Copies of this chain bind each other. A is one copy, B any other.
């Protein structure tokens, strides 16, 4: 597996495409990038906390989804129409507030489908607070603009 984007290109894409409402608006930032892997870091602040003081399920879902999506784009380039088709997420332990890391690993990068595993951990934790596996649909490559003539 080879990267198609640099760390800086992915970090810029994150800031540009997921600004206020999204995960960058949460304070997520690119933490690490290597072939097959990408890590986001999030300073889980008050906005994402439930009354009990834990990060909300939808915030963890969003963090996992964006980490997986960026991990795919980092390997195929900034194709805009990659879409989530399935996400299965397990909430394992209540993560305490503080720095969270979401580490995405490619399980498959096919022409039409990519499958990514994501583990979300508190800074000091060995076992994940949440774990997800997502499937993403990759749009067919646009035909290059040559003229195509079918003769039946």
Contact = CB atoms under 8 A, between A and B. Distances in A.
Interface of A: 21, 47, 56-59, 61-62, 65, 83-93, 106-108, 112-113, 115, 117, 127-128, 131, 133, 135, 137, 146-152
A83 B91 contact: yes
Contacts of A146: 150-152
Given A58-B58, A58-B62, A131 B107 contact: yes
A57 B150 contact: no
B152 A151 contact: no
The main secondary structure of chain A at its interface with chain B is strand
Nearest to A112: B112
A130 to B, nearest CB: 9
Contacts of A133: 88, 90, 131, 133
A135 B58 contact: no
B90 A107 contact: yes
A87 B90 CA distance: 7
A8 to B, nearest CB: 23
Contacts of A84: 57, 91
Contacts of A117: 117, 131
